[in-house]
C-alpha cells in the first residue's frame, strides 16, 4: 500500500479505531461493577465468572482495532516523501485512539450504578437458567434493557465524598494504575515502533502480544487477588459494602489516571520496543 503525498489526520479508519477503543476500555471499567454485584447478591463465584467474561470479551474485541490501525501504520510506514510528517501524523492518530479509550473509561465509570444492577440481574438470570448464553439473551430483551437503564443514577458530590480511599490498599491502587498505563498503549506503542524502523516492522508488531500478556499477568498477580480478597471479606462481614463501593470507585479512578499517564510513555515505549525488535533481529543461533 503506497501512501498518498500528503498525510491526513482524520479518516474513517481512525474513527473506527477510536470507537472500538472507546468501548473496549469502557468495558474494562464496567467489569469492576461485578465485584460489587457479587457482594450484594452474595454470589462471588458467579459474579467473578461474569467479570472474567466481560474482561476477556473486551480484550478480544481489542484485536478488531488492528483492522483499522494496521492500514494506518502501513500508510505511514510506506511513505517515501515527507516521512517525518507521516510519522508525526501517525503518532497523533495513536494518541487520539488512546484518548478515546480514556473517554470510554470516564463515560462507563459514570454508568457504574447501571452496570452493577446489570450484573445483579445477570447473576439472578444465570442461577435461574444455568446457562450463560441464555442469560445473556434474557438480558438483551427490551424490557430488561429498559429496566437496567432506569437503574442509572449519576453520582452526586456527596456520594463521591463518601468513598474513603483509606479503606483501599495503596498497593492495589498503585499496581492498577501501572497495569492500565501499560495496557492502554501496548498495541499502539508496537505499531508506532514499526514505523520508526521499517526493517523490524513484523517483529515490533508481534511484540504487542507480549506486552499485553505481561500486563495481563501483572493484573492477575497484583490487582485481581487483592480485589477478590476485599470482596470475600465483605461477604464474611469483615468489611462493609461501602468499602467495596470505595474500592470499585478508586479502581476506576486509577484506571483512568493510568490511561492518561500512558500518553507520556507512548513514544518512549515505542523506542524501547524498536530497540528490542532490532536486537532480536541480530540474534543468531
Residue 284 pLDDT: 66
Report whether 108 contacts 30 (CB < 8 A).
yes
> In 3D, which of 259, 173, 274 has the Cα closest to residue 223?
173
Cα(131)–Cα(133) distance, integer angstroms: 6
Q: What does the block give as the cell for 241? A: 459494602
Residue 248 pLDDT: 95
User: For the chain, what is the radius of gyration of the CA atoms?
Assistant: 21
Residue 153 pLDDT: 78
Residue 285 pLDDT: 61
Residue 3 pLDDT: 54
Q: What does the block give as the cell for 259? A: 490511561
Going 162 to 166 to 172 to 174, the CA torsion angle's sign is: positive
Cα-flanking dihedrals φ and ψ of residue 166, to 5°? -65, -25
- pLDDT of the chain along its 285 residues, tens only? 545 567 889 999 999 999 999 999 998 898 889 889 889 888 887 777 777 777 777 777 777 888 899 999 999 988 878 889 999 999 999 999 999 999 999 999 999 989 898 888 888 887 777 776 777 777 777 887 888 788 777 778 787 888 988 889 999 999 999 999 998 998 999 999 999 988 889 899 988 878 878 888 888 899 989 998 999 999 889 999 999 999 999 999 999 999 999 999 999 999 999 999 998 877 766
DSSP states along 217-272: HHIIIIIHHHHHHHHHHHHTTSS-HHHHHHHHHHHHHHHHHHHHHHHHHHHHHHHH
Q: How far is CA 71 from the centre of its chain?
A: 22
Amino acid at each position: 500500500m503506497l501512501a498518498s503525498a500528503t498525510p491526513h489526520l482524520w479518516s474513517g479508519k481512525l474513527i473506527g479505531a477510536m470507537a472500538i477503543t472507546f468501548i473496549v476500555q469502557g468495558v474494562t471499567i464496567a467489569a469492576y461493577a461485578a465485584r460489587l454485584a457479587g457482594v450484594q447478591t452474595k454470589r462471588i463465584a458467579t459474579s467473578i465468572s461474569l467479570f472474567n467474561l466481560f474482561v476477556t470479551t473486551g480484550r478480544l474485541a481489542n484485536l478488531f482495532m488492528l483492522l483499522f490501525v494496521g492500514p494506518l501504520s502501513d500508510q505511514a510506514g510506506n511513505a517515501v516523501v515527507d516521512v517525518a510528517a507521516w510519522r508525526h501524523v501517525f503518532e497523533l492518530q495513536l494518541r487520539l485512539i488512546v484518548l478515546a479509550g480514556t473517554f470510554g473509561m470516564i463515560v462507563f465509570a459514570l454508568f457504574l450504578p447501571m452496570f452493577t444492577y446489570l450484573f445483579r440481574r445477570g447473576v439472578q438470570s444465570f442461577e435461574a437458567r444455568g446457562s450463560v448464553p441464555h442469560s445473556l439473551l434474557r438480558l438483551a430483551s427490551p424490557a430488561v434493557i429498559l429496566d437496567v437503564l432506569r437503574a442509572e443514577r449519576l453520582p452526586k458530590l456527596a456520594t463521591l465524598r463518601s468513598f474513603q480511599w483509606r479503606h483501599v490498599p495503596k498497593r492495589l491502587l498503585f499496581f492498577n494504575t501501572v497495569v492500565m498505563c501499560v495496557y492502554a498503549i501496548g498495541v499502539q506503542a508496537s505499531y508506532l515502533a514499526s514505523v520508526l524502523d521499517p526493517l523490524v516492522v513484523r517483529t515490533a508488531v508481534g511484540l504487542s502480544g507480549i506486552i499485553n500478556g505481561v500486563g495481563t499477568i501483572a493484573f492477575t498477580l497484583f490487582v485481581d487477588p487483592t480485589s477478590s480478597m476485599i470482596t470475600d471479606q465483605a461477604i464474611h462481614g469483615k468489611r462493609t459494602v461501602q468499602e467495596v463501593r470505595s474500592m470499585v470507585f478508586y479502581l476506576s479512578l486509577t484506571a483512568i489516571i493510568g490511561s492518561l499517564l500512558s500518553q507520556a510513555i507512548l513514544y518512549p515505549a515505542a523506542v524501547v520496543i524498536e530497540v528490542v525488535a532490532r536486537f532480536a533481529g541480530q540474534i543468531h543461533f
